[in-house]
């Protein structure tokens, strides 16, 4: 978790760090710091005095949190009071999504580890890659980790019905997880602006639903790629359509768990790229019999059948029947495609646009 530093300490460190940074800019002779009050839109105004006699003001807000939800609130509060480039947000740390949003909208920012982006008039300062000195829980890794089955079930349940407004208890029951897990994920999604609270009728408590879904999925894919499971390669003499049909029949006859995945699944959701290898999930207990019956030959490389071992039931959660075959859910298909570079990302993007973007409130 992020260390609980008093806001007064964060304000002091932020103010001093920005002063040190600006004092290194050639041409600035003096910096006057003016504290704001309840009637101003800023916490501090930095009056920059240049050797040329020109004056420039930077309006600074200092916050204890830097997740996207707090950044969006900052932008909303300060909009219209000054040019975006004249406004700087300071926090102990910023998420990648927060940095991207601030840069996109033209606002300056600085964390307390020295990473910053300030571009106003003749000043351009950009520092990135400084290690975060403020210890905080790597929440993306925690909730997106392949081993975090409870969190994965909650996210998959929400993405299976991306427009639904959920309440914590209902989502707990639907995902078969605990109230604590769902509450934590709700807060995580809200903080990163991947969910929003929605007012329901007077008789029902407020619920929450997904937003910025494409961004959420791509952030998940980054973490998922780091922990992608092993893929075993095999060779079949069958053509791609023949093998996929045979795999579907094997599943029906044996009652085992076999799901077409990757490009094989993508071709059934949003066919955009041609593929020459079958990809399939097989339950570990069915693997030996499946390989034998399908007459698959193990190869070290160049195989035309990629077999992924299902590590838990999450890989085939919300799998679908499409054209007579069981295929992994849209989100599982996307995550697996993202482990392939190039065409995999292209195929994943097509599914995102078809299955999720049209339902995204933004």
Helices 68-78 and 96-105: angle between axes, nearest 10 degrees? 20
User: What is the side-by-side strand order in the sheet with 108-111?
Assistant: 28-35, 44-50, 55-62, 87-91, 108-111, 116-120, 123-127
Q: pLDDT value at position 137?
A: 45
Name the DSSP letter for residue 166.
B
Q: Of 214, 232, 359, which is closest to residue 290 (Cα–Cα)?
A: 232
Residues in the chain: 362
* Of the candidates 158, 303, 297, 311, the residue with the CA atom closest to the CA atom of residue 227: 311
Instruction: Kindly give the pairing relationship between strand 116-120 and strand 123-127.
Output: antiparallel
| pLDDT of amino acid 149 | 85
Which pLDDT tens digits describe the chain residue by residue (362 residues)?
444 557 788 899 999 999 999 999 988 999 999 999 989 999 999 999 998 888 999 999 999 888 888 899 999 999 889 999 999 999 998 888 889 999 999 999 999 999 999 999 889 999 998 888 775 545 566 788 766 788 999 999 999 999 999 999 999 999 999 999 999 999 999 988 999 999 876 656 789 999 999 999 999 998 888 766 678 999 999 999 999 999 999 999 998 889 999 999 999 999 998 999 999 999 888 999 999 999 999 998 889 999 998 767 888 899 999 989 999 999 999 999 998 878 999 999 999 999 998 766 66
- Please tell me the predicted confidence (pLDDT) of residue 141: 61
Could you give the CA distance from residue 302 to residue 297 in angstroms, rounded to a whole number?
12
User: Is the torsion defined by CA of 324, 281, 284, 159 positive or negative?
Assistant: negative
Lookup: tokens for 224: 């998922």
Residues sharing a CB contact under 8 Å with residue 72, sequence separation 6 or more, in sequence order: 101, 193
| Entry pTM | 0.75
Name all domains of the chain by residue range, CATH numbers in brackets.
Answer: 7-127 (3.40.1350), 139-224 (1.10.10.10), 231-356 (3.30.460.40)
């Amino acid at each position: 978790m992020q260390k609980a530093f008093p806001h007064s300490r964060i304000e002091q460190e932020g103010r001093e760090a920005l002063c040190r940074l600006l004092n290194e800019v050639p041409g600035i002779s003096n910096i006057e710091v003016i504290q704001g009050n309840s009637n101003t839109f800023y916490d501090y105004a930095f009056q920059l005095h240049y050797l040329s006699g020109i004056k420039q003001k930077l309006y600074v807000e200092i916050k204890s949190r830097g997740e996207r939800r707090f950044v969006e609130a900052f932008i909303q509060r300060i909009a219209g009071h000054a040019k975006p480039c004249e406004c700087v947000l300071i926090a102990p740390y910023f998420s990648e999504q927060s940095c991207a949003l601030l840069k996109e909208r033209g606002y300056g920012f600085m964390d307390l580890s020295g990473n910053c982006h300030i571009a106003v008039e003749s000043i351009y300062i950009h520092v990135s890659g400084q290690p975060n000195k403020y210890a905080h829980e790597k929440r993306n890794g925690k909730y997106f980790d392949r081993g975090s089955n409870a969190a994965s079930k909650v996210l998959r349940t929400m993405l299976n019905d991306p427009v639904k407004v959920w309440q914590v208890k209902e989502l707990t029951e639907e995902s078969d997880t605990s109230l604590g897990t769902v509450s934590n994920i709700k807060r995580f999604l809200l903080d990163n602006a991947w969910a929003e609270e929605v007012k329901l009728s007077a008789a029902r408590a407020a619920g929450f639903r997904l937003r910025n879904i494409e961004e959420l999925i791509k952030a998940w894919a980054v973490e998922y790629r780091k922990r992608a499971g092993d893929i075993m390669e095999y060779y079949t003499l069958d053509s791609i359509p023949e093998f996929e049909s045979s795999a579907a029949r094997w599943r029906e006859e044996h009652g085992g768990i076999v799901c077409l995945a990757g490009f094989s699944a993508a071709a059934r959701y949003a066919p955009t790229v041609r593929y020459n290898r079958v990809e399939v999930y097989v339950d570990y207990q069915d693997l030996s019999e499946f390989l034998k019956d399908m007459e698959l030959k193990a190869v070290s490389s160049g195989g035309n059948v990629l077999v992924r071992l299902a590590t838990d039931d999450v890989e085939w959660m919300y799998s679908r029947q499409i054209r007579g075959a069981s295929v992994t859910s849209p989100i599982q298909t996307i995550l697996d495609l993202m482990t392939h570079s190039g065409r995999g990302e292209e195929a994943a993007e097509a599914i995102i646009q078809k299955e999720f973007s049209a339902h995204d409130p933004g």
